[in-house]
Amino acid sequence: MKLSSIVRKLIMALSGLFLIIFLVTHLVINSFTLAPSKELFNDAAHFMATNPVIYLMQYVLALGFIIHIGMGIKLTLQNRKARPKSYAYNQPSKNADLSSRSMIISGGLVIVFLILHLRDYFYEIKFVGLPAGTSDYDLVVNLFSSPIYTGVYVISFIVLGFHLNHGFKSAFQSVGANHKKYNPAIKIAGTAYSILISVGFSTIAVVHFINQYSFN
């Protein structure tokens, strides 16, 4: 079945909004690693791994990612096909901000990071298994002992922030929330959200990296 451009944008927007909610939940759980006791994060990880509803949501989340990525690629190719020529006097900086113009690039980089992230955490727990005496908390913290991993992690979330900055307001516009009265508020909320996600995840990574070197 061939979907119209409007339907594709709507599906991409809805899947994007779902992923936006997921990122907030993920950030909250990751922040538990900064608690005085590592058991808070371990208990949360155990709950996420054993709760049947959460277990089912893993597949819903995976489907959301696949749909969002697929629709993003489809819409990008469709837009390029509709505008095959590059005009010499086109000034994109006046037509769209940096986050808007770099959506396909930032999205591609985020996909690469997502694959690496799943390999280092999800794959290790689900298919390899943790070494005896190693907890979920230990796995997360040990990953941030590497300056390279920590650096890539921080850069990836900065890139994700650019992606979210445009994606947030674009998603709301695609579902019908596009009015000159509300657009400024949506834009501010999108910027605030993208900063929260980028700074939040990056701060957690940097704190763990510093702690391991300052207390050893």
Tokens describing residue 186: 């949506």
Rounded distance, CA 149 to CA 94, Å? 36
Has residue 210 been placed in a domain? yes
Has residue 124 been placed in a domain? yes
Has residue 14 been placed in a domain? yes
CATH number for the domain spanning 129: value is 1.20.1300.10
What average pLDDT is seen over the chain? 81
Rounded distance, CA 110 to CA 179, Å? 30
Has residue 94 been placed in a domain? no
Query: Would you state the pLDDT for residue 168?
Result: 83
- Is the pLDDT at 86 greater than 70? The verdict is no
Cβ neighbour number for residue 172 with a 10 Å cutoff:
21
Among the listed ranges 29-43, 156-170, 172-186, which one has the minimum average pLDDT value?
172-186
CA atoms within 13 A on the CB side of 6: 2
Query: Would you state the pLDDT for residue 87?
Result: 44
| Structural domains of the chain, count | 1
H-helix segments, the chain: 5-31, 39-50, 52-82, 92-95, 98-101, 103-117, 123, 136-143, 147-174, 183-214
Has residue 31 been placed in a domain? yes
Rounded distance, CA 62 to CA 19, Å? 10
Has residue 90 been placed in a domain? no
CA-to-CA separations, 95 to 32, 38, 100, 101, 140, in angstroms, rounded: 41, 48, 10, 9, 41
Confidence category of residue 90, pLDDT binned at 50, 70, 90: very low
- Is the pLDDT at 95 greater than 90? The verdict is no
Has residue 92 been placed in a domain? no
Question: Residue 149 is part of which domain span?
Answer: 5-82+100-214
Query: What pTM was computed for the model?
Result: 0.79
Has residue 61 been placed in a domain? yes
